[in-house]
Homo-oligomer: A and B are copies of this chain.
Amino acid sequence: MIEADIFKALADPTRRKVFEKLAGGSLNASALRDGLEISQPAMSQHLSVLRAAGLVREQRQGRFVNYEVDPDGLLAIGAWLARYRAYWPKRMEALADLLKDMDQ
C-alpha cells in the first residue's frame, strides 16, 4: 500500500520541512541541508524515504542530484482524501475551487 509510505514519510517533521522547501523549486541534497541542522547521510536517508513514497523525484545533474516535488504523491493524497468526501466541511468547497483554479 503506497498510502502507508506516504503518511509515514510525512509523519517526520524534518521530511515535511524538506518537502516544503522543494515546494519553492528544485534543489539538490546539499542545498536542502541549509538551515536544517542535519548530517549529510541523514538528509540522504530522508530523501530516500520521500522518494520511495512517491512524494519527490530526483534527477542527477553532474555531481549533483536535484530533487523536486513529485505530483504523483500529491495525487495519491488527494485520492485518499476523496474517499472521505462525504465528511468534507463546507470550507473545503472553497478550497477545492481554489485548487482547481490554481491548477491551470
Q: Which segment, of A28-36, A39-47, A90-98, faces chain B?
A: A90-98
Which listed residue (B4, B71, B92) contacts A13, Cβ 8 A?
B4
User: Are A97 and B100 in contact, CB atoms less than 8 angstroms apart?
Assistant: yes
Distance (whole angstroms) from the CB of A79 to the closest CB of chain B: 7
Q: What are 26 residue pairs bridging A and B, where the CB atoms are less than 8 Å apart in the complex?
A: A3-B16, A8-B11, A10-B11, A11-B11, A23-B84, A69-B84, A74-B81, A74-B84, A74-B87, A74-B92, A75-B92, A78-B81, A78-B88, A78-B92, A78-B96, A79-B95, A82-B98, A82-B99, A85-B102, A85-B103, A88-B102, A90-B103, A96-B97, A96-B99, A96-B100, A100-B100
